[in-house]
């Protein structure tokens, strides 16, 4: 019985969100690091992902893609994502997004770090919005579109 349950668990598709981070900033000139924080909406305590990516290392660039996989394939708790960009250890902008994973599918959650949001530009947005490509945009992004991997040459 346990073996059957484990076998079933192995074939159950994972609930996954691909976080796609893009920008019109120049890495190195405008910003030299990006911090990505992902947590379940309303969760207290440490986030499930909190990593600073050094853009000077050459290991991370734009657009950048991070896969977030739920431990439970039936998990539908929305994700809260904050992406902050800094230069010389000083935060220059931050963008937020929330989205609900889709059952047994890979969803896409986009965050755009816009030049227009550098320094004071981001503070102009009100509650429930974040500075983005077109100005103040909603933080809530549901329904999330499906993720389509880029074509390989």
Q: Going from the N-terminus, what domains does the chain have, and what CATH number goes with each? A: 14-113 (2.60.40.10)
19 against 119, higher pLDDT:
19
pLDDT of 122 > 60? The answer is no
* Structural contact between residues 53 and 92, judged by C-beta atoms closer than 8 angstroms: no
At 33 the three-state DSSP class reads strand
pTM, to two decimals: 0.84
The structure tokens listed for 10 are 């192995």
pLDDT tens-digit profile of 46-104?
A: 888 899 999 988 888 777 899 988 766 666 778 899 999 999 999 999 999 999 888 76
Are 27 and 46 within 8 A, CB to CB?
no
């Amino acid at each position: 019985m346990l073996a059957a349950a484990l076998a079933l668990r192995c074939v159950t598709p994972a609930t996954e969100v691909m976080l796609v981070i893009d920008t019109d900033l120049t890495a190195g000139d405008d910003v030299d690091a990006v911090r990505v924080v992902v947590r379940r909406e309303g969760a207290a305590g440490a986030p499930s992902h909190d990593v600073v990516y050094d853009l000077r290392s050459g290991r991370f660039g734009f657009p950048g893609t991070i896969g977030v996989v739920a431990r439970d394939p039936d998990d539908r708790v929305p994700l809260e994502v904050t992406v902050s960009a800094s230069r010389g250890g000083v935060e220059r902008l931050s963008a937020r997004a929330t989205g609900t994973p889709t059952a047994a599918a890979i969803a896409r959650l986009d965050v755009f770090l816009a030049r227009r949001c550098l320094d004071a530009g981001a503070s102009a947005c009100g509650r429930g919005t974040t500075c983005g490509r077109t100005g103040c945009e909603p933080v809530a992004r549901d329904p999330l579109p499906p993720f389509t991997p880029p074509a390989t040459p």
